[in-house]
């Protein structure tokens, strides 16, 4: 496809990195020459220095032959205007990043009236991820499929957990749990395990299951699954606002700590049910006075990654709470595993995942749509949900007879209201939604699960 990305900031550069190598022709636009040069020097993309709202600049970028334009500048209004001009000038799909909370209740209206394919809000997307983690504190990460009916849950094996030194096959035969272990991260290795795999302490395990069956599994292996009742958020930015609103809506007592008096006053008006504390969130005394030792959930959401990491380590020292750390710079990820943070959230990676999923689903010539896509373990694996549109080489054939690619696991089949954890005799059919986990990246079609 021909893709134009307007804005070479964190999200824009991440998109180019993720889309690079997927057989797309990519053009980036930014007003800052150094940002354009940084991307074009390192990645396979063309660059134009200019304003993406400018008609001439878009013409130069090839808007008339573009299939998709993604506007991710720092201005919501500029992103929306850029998409409108692109629609008028060319005939491409458009995606706008819109972050200001004043638009949060109008996204459906704006999308329809302006003819946008999608409006994406990184802070809102990340707050939804944190809220899910707070609702299932055992999990390190949660990805959802089939409109929330299936979950991909990542959790860490502890010394007290029943799975420590346990053989995988016994989950079905002895524990009688209807879950599928689809991936294990052990140190730097990412594994798709077989039945004779033995779990070890510190393994990060990913299972696919329905929420109810996942809860039953965690109870049987001795891991608590209680939801949080109280939460403390340090940093009162947009993400904290979205997250607090979600938590308050489900009855979670929420405190926000921020040192900007003007912002605190604004949050008091926006969130009258929350407790707003005006103070330095890095001050241990303030956090302890406000009940750090007794809260069930803690999120470090300041604008500085280093500060969020230190805050999380401090919270871990004093509190048994579920701890979530917001990280903006993806290049920190290589050392975060050694620090042993509880859960980390990368807003720009979450945003990129949503947009890449849409880009992969645009090819109408394929036999299936990419309904969902999640990058796993720093991009070394992917979890994809395909909707099967028409018969192909994978339909009507027992799975045991399929020649699937190595390091690929077919995890679940959603057929109408039924959720199937597949066995060898199950078959795929038109209308199914199928979840696949694989270390092979860039699968675009359900047929790509087969050996060539």
Query: How long is the chain?
Result: 452
pLDDT at 147: 84
Q: Helix H segments across 295-332?
A: 305-318
Task: Give the chain's domain count.
Answer: 4
pLDDT at 299: 98
Judge whether 180 and 411 are in contact, CB under 8 Å.
yes
Tokens of 140: 């390190």
Tokens of 273: 């049910």
Q: Is residue 380 part of a domain?
A: yes
pLDDT at 22: 79
Average pLDDT, integer, range 3-10:
95
Average pLDDT, integer, range 65-86:
96
In this structure, the answer to whether residues 270 and 309 fall within a common structural domain is: yes
Of residues 262 and 21, the one with the higher pLDDT is: 262
Q: Is residue 146 part of a domain?
A: yes
Give the C-alpha separation, 112 to 118, whole Å: 9
pLDDT at 369: 83
Average pLDDT, integer, range 433-445:
89
In the three-class reduction of DSSP (H, G, I as helix; E, B as strand; rest coil), residue 349 is classed as helix
In this structure, the answer to whether residues 216 and 238 fall within a common structural domain is: no
The CATH code of the domain that includes 314 is 3.40.50.720
Q: Is residue 352 part of a domain?
A: no
| Range with lowest mean pLDDT among 33-42, 52-61, 440-449 | 440-449
Tokens of 100: 């200001």
Question: CB-hemisphere CA count at 13 Å for 67?
Answer: 13
In this structure, the answer to whether residues 200 and 270 fall within a common structural domain is: no
Judge whether 232 and 314 are in contact, CB under 8 Å.
no
Give the C-alpha separation, 236 to 263, whole Å: 7
At 339-353, the pLDDT tens digits run 778 899 999 888 988
Tokens of 12: 């824009």
pLDDT at 365: 67
Question: CB-hemisphere CA count at 13 Å for 145?
Answer: 31
Does residue 175 have a pLDDT over 70? yes
Mean pLDDT, the chain, integer: 92
Of residues 372 and 255, the one with the higher pLDDT is: 255
pLDDT at 380: 85
In this structure, the answer to whether residues 339 and 386 fall within a common structural domain is: no
In this structure, the answer to whether residues 213 and 183 fall within a common structural domain is: yes
CA 71 to the chain's CA centroid? 19
Q: Is residue 238 part of a domain?
A: yes
| Range with lowest mean pLDDT among 179-188, 373-382, 442-451 | 373-382
Give the C-alpha separation, 234 to 99, whole Å: 20
Give the C-alpha separation, 217 to 172, whole Å: 10
Give the C-alpha separation, 125 to 97, whole Å: 11
Q: What is the pTM of this model?
A: 0.85
At 145-157, the pLDDT tens digits run 988 899 999 999 9
pLDDT at 412: 94
Give the C-alpha separation, 372 to 114, whole Å: 25
Q: Is residue 290 part of a domain?
A: yes
Q: Max Cα separation, the chain?
A: 67
At 125-145, the pLDDT tens digits run 999 999 999 988 889 999 989
pLDDT at 325: 95
Tokens of 30: 């930014």
Q: Which residue has the tokens 């710079």?
A: 329
N-terminal to C-terminal alpha carbon distance within the chain: 23
387 phi, psi to nearest 5 deg: -105, 120
Please give the residue range of the domain that contains residue 134. Answer: 127-220
DSSP-derived pairing of the beta strands 180-186 and 189-191 = antiparallel
In this structure, the answer to whether residues 76 and 174 fall within a common structural domain is: no
139: CB partners within 8 A, 6+ apart: 132, 133, 153, 154, 155, 343
Q: Which residue has the tokens 């029943």?
A: 162
In this structure, the answer to whether residues 310 and 204 fall within a common structural domain is: no
Of 59, 48, 58, nearest to 78 by C-alpha is 58
In this structure, the answer to whether residues 81 and 162 fall within a common structural domain is: no
The domain boundary, picked from 120, 153, 180, lies at 120
pLDDT at 330: 67
Average pLDDT, integer, range 89-95:
92
Q: Helix H segments across 201-237?
A: 211-220
In this structure, the answer to whether residues 214 and 134 fall within a common structural domain is: yes
Judge whether 130 and 324 are in contact, CB under 8 Å.
yes
Tokens of 398: 């027992």
42 phi, psi to nearest 5 deg: -100, -30
Judge whether 263 and 148 are in contact, CB under 8 Å.
no
In this structure, the answer to whether residues 27 and 85 fall within a common structural domain is: yes
pLDDT at 331: 64
372 bridge partner residues: 385
Q: Is residue 350 part of a domain?
A: no
Does residue 336 have a pLDDT over 70? no
In this structure, the answer to whether residues 136 and 201 fall within a common structural domain is: yes
> How many beta carbons lie within 10 A of that of residue 374, not counting itself?
21
Does residue 307 have a pLDDT over 80? yes
Q: Is residue 27 part of a domain?
A: yes
The domain boundary, picked from 85, 120, 155, lies at 120
Give the C-alpha separation, 274 to 346, whole Å: 25
In this structure, the answer to whether residues 67 and 102 fall within a common structural domain is: yes
Give the C-alpha separation, 428 to 445, whole Å: 14
Question: What DSSP character marks residue 416?
Answer: T
Question: What DSSP character marks residue 386?
Answer: E
The CATH code of the domain that includes 158 is 3.30.70.1450
Give the C-alpha separation, 106 to 288, whole Å: 39
Q: Is residue 351 part of a domain?
A: no
The domain boundary, picked from 188, 220, 252, lies at 220
């Amino acid at each position: 496809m021909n893709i134009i990305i307007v804005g070479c900031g964190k999200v824009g550069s991440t998109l180019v990195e993720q889309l690079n190598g997927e057989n797309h022709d990519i053009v980036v636009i930014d007003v800052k020459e150094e940002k354009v040069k940084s991307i074009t020097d390192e990645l396979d993309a063309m660059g134009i220095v200019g304003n993406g709202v400018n008609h001439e600049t878009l013409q130069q970028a090839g808007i008339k032959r573009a299939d998709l334009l993604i506007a991710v500048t720092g201005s919501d209004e500029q992103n929306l205007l850029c998409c409108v001009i692109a629609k008028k000038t060319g005939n491409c799909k458009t995606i706008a990043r819109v972050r200001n909370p004043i638009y949060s209740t109008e996204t459906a209206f704006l999308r329809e009236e302006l003819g946008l394919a999608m409006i994406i809000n990184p802070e809102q997307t990340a707050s939804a991820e944190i809220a899910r983690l707070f609702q299932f504190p055992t999990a390190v990460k949660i990805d959802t499929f089939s409109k929330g009916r299936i979950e991909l849950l990542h959790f860490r094996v502890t010394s007290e957990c029943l799975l420590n030194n346990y053989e995988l096959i016994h989950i079905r035969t002895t524990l009688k749990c209807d879950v599928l272990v689809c991936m294990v991260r052990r140190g730097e290795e990412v594994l798709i395990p077989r039945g004779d795999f033995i779990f070890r302490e510190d393994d990060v395990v990913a299972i696919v299951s329905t929420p109810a069956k996942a809860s039953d599994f965690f109870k049987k292996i001795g891991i608590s699954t209680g939801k949080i009742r109280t939460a403390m958020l340090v940093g009162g930015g947009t993400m904290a606002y979205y997250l607090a609103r979600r938590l308050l809506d489900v009855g979670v007592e929420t405190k926000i700590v921020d040192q900007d008096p003007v912002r605190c006053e604004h949050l008091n008006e926006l969130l009258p049910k929350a407790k707003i504390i005006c103070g330095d969130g890095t001050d241990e005394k303030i956090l302890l006075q406000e009940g750090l030792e007794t809260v069930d959930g803690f999120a470090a959401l300041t604008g500085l990654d280093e500060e969020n990491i230190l805050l999380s380590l401090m919270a871990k020292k004093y509190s048994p709470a579920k701890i979530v750390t917001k990280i903006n710079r993806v290049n920190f990820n290589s050392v975060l595993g050694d620090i042993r943070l509880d859960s980390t959230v990368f807003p720009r990676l979450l945003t990129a995942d949503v947009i890449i999923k849409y880009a992969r689903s645009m090819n109408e010539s394929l036999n299936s749509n990419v309904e969902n896509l999640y990058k796993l373990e720093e991009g070394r694996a992917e979890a994809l949900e395909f909707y099967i549109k028409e018969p192909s080489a994978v339909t009507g054939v027992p799975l045991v007879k399929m020649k699937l690619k190595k390091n690929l696991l077919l995890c679940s089949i959603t057929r109408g209201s039924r959720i199937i954890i597949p066995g060898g005799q199950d078959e795929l059919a038109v209308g199914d939604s199928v979840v696949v986990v694989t270390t092979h990246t860039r699968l675009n079609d359900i047929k790509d699960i087969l050996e060539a």
